[in-house]
Amino acid sequence: MTLVLGGARSGKSLHAEGLIEAWPAPWTYLATAQAWDDEMRARIALHRERRSGDWITRDVPIDLPRAVAEAPGPVLVDCLTLWLTNLILAEAEVEAAGAALIAACAGAPGPVVLVGSEVGLGIVPDNALARRFRDAAGRLHQRLAARADHVVFMVAGLPMIVKPAPGANP
């Protein structure tokens, strides 16, 4: 399992796609974004357009653990923080969902690459919902990073290795 973190427009998704494409196709892309407006629909379309026909895309805004468990081979989850947003808005049990995702990743039949936005580098948000989200994202990322074989932090399109893959030269 690989965890790819970074800020907005840091190159997370493109890097994660490259990691998955190192494995034999077909690849499963589990997309958690929901298209609430035209701008988000355009973002989603751009992501889809850059991927080849070897990708199988599934939209999974909520039931991500099940989708990871059902993926037949290499799987990319993009993105954890949008999934977390969907869970919070649905008033779902975030900690239980995180535990289910970790279990699904551990039992996945192929490699799993997870993408998440690092939201804890800025100021403390001024409202309770934003603080709850930031804290939940930080806890989820910590739990996944502890279990991951490889963790990458993206900055300006450059991968910074936080946790080297087994057998890699640090």
State the sign of the Cα–Cα–Cα–Cα dihedral 71, 112, 45, 21. Answer: negative
Distance CA 116, CA 124 (A): 19
Active-site annotation holds for 150:
no
Query: Which position among 15, 47, 141, 150 bears the catalytic label?
Result: 47
Distance CA 141, CA 119 (A): 10
Q: What contacts 80, CB < 8 A, 6 or more positions away? A: 32, 114, 115, 116, 117, 137, 140, 141, 144
The count of other CB atoms within 10 Å of the CB of residue 41 is: 12
Active site residues: 47
